[in-house]
């Protein structure tokens, strides 16, 4: 089925969305997120969305499944980012320059030095980063990206550049792995320019970049799959999706791709 696009206003969002985003006419508030949800409102286990940033997002962290359930949530939130566009000098904050204990992390969040403690990674279109639960992170300004995440609404803000929003220092420090980021969990666009690639395989989800439906079926079997076109068109049954849209299929068996298609495909678990 074709998922429904939901535009979400954010103060750090943008008014100059690309044409493919299909932003409703006359909308003047900055749009920060474009979420895809089931037409009947059913909660799917993964959430796909686009982010559009004109400012840095807060420094934040998410719990893992065990930590989330201990707090009365259905689970935790691991996520991943695929960069669609990035302004010159755009960066993502992922991990820290050095390991901090919980007390040091709280102090850095309170006095603002966490900005200097963060590792800010330059990014380019085609870069991919897996952000396991517990990773301290912040999306920088001037970026458009696809985010694939566990569909659990839990975010602990550690620092927000003086904005008047609540912080969650106790929970955030408790669930953080305040260490440098493992760059083995990233895939850089310049790594051979390969279009067919496994981006992440972990117990939470598998994400592939693909352009051949048969290859995709061979790798994912009959599992439900989310299809996000990066170029061209994806088709299944009577539904189709182009850039800026998303399909959810009970299995990839019926998937067809146009000759120019490049897609992200996501499924639960490691395949």
> So where are the chain's domains?
53-187, 197-268
Residue 59 near residue 12 (C-beta atoms within 8 A)? no
Residue 29 near residue 9 (C-beta atoms within 8 A)? yes
Which residue from 232, 224, 227 is spatially nearest to 209, judged by alpha carbons? 227
- pLDDT, tens digit (0-9, with 9 covering 90-100), for 8-29: 999 999 998 999 998 877 777 8
Please tell me the distance from the alpha carbon of residue 92 to that of residue 130, in angstroms, as a whole number. 12
> Which pLDDT band holds residue 193 (cuts at 50, 70, 90)?
low
CA 243 to mean position of chain CA atoms: 16
Locate tokens 């904005």: which residue?
Answer: 163
* pLDDT the model gives residue 192: 56
* pLDDT the model gives residue 28: 78
Q: Which two tokens stand for residue 119?
A: 């590792």
With a CB cutoff of 8 Å and minimum separation 6, the contacts of 19 are none
Please tell me the distance from the alpha carbon of residue 200 to that of residue 114, in angstroms, as a whole number. 28
Answer yes or no: same fold for 53-187 and 197-268: yes
Range with the lowest mean pLDDT among 169-173, 215-219, 262-266? 215-219
Q: What share of the chain in percent tops pLDDT 90? A: 85
Please tell me the distance from the alpha carbon of residue 5 to that of residue 8, in angstroms, as a whole number. 10
Instruction: Find which of 78-82, 208-212, 213-217 is predicted with most confidence, using mean pLDDT.
Output: 78-82
Mean pLDDT, the chain, as a whole number?
A: 94
Q: Which two tokens stand for residue 223?
A: 């599992």
- pLDDT, tens digit (0-9, with 9 covering 90-100), for 219-261: 888 899 999 999 999 999 899 999 999 999 999 889 999 999 9
Q: Tell me: pLDDT of 104 over 70.
A: yes
With a CB cutoff of 8 Å and minimum separation 6, the contacts of 269 are 203, 204, 205, 206, 223
Active-site hit among 157, 209, 211, 217: 157
Q: Tell me: pLDDT of 157 over 90.
A: yes
Q: For this structure, is 157 an active site residue?
A: yes
> Which pLDDT band holds residue 194 (cuts at 50, 70, 90)?
low
Q: Tell me: pLDDT of 271 over 70.
A: no
Please tell me whether 137 is known to bind a ligand. yes
Q: Which superfamily does 197-268 belong to?
A: Jelly Rolls (2.60.120.10)
Q: Tell me: pLDDT of 141 over 60.
A: yes
In the CATH hierarchy, which fold is given to the domain comprising 53-187? Jelly Rolls (2.60.120)
Please tell me whether 196 is known to bind a ligand. no
* pLDDT the model gives residue 195: 73
Helix (H) or strand (E) holding 66: helix 65-70
Please tell me whether 121 is known to bind a ligand. no
């Amino acid at each position: 089925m074709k998922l429904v696009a939901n535009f979400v206003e954010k103060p750090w969002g943008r008014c100059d969305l690309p044409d493919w985003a299909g932003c409703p006419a006359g909308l003047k508030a900055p749009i920060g997120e474009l979420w895809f949800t089931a037409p009947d409102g059913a909660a799917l286990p993964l959430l796909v969305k686009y982010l559009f940033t004109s400012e840095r997002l807060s420094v934040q962290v998410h719990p893992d499944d065990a930590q989330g359930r201990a707090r009365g949530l259905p689970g935790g939130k691991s996520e991943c980012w695929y960069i669609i566009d990035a302004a010159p000098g755009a960066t993502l904050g992922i991990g820290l320059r050095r390991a901090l204990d919980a007390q040091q992390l709280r102090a850095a969040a309170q006095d603002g030095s966490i900005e200097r403690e963060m590792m800010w990674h330059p990014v380019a279109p085609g870069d991919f980063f897996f952000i396991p639960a517990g990773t301290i992170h912040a999306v920088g300004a001037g970026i458009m990206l696809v985010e694939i995440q566990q569909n659990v609404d839990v975010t602990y803000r550690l620092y927000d550049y003086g904005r008047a929003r609540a912080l969650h220092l106790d929970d955030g420090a408790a669930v953080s792995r305040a260490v440098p980021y493992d760059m083995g969990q990233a895939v850089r666009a310049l790594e051979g320019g390969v279009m067919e690639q496994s981006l992440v395989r972990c117990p939470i989800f598998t994400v592939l970049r693909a352009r051949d439906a048969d290859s995709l079926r061979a790798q994912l079997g009959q599992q439900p799959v989310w299809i996000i076109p990066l170029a061209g068109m994806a088709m299944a049954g009577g539904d189709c999706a182009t850039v800026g849209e998303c399909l959810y299929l009970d299995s990839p068996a019926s998937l067809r791709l146009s000759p120019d298609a490049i897609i992200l495909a996501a499924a639960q678990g490691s395949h």
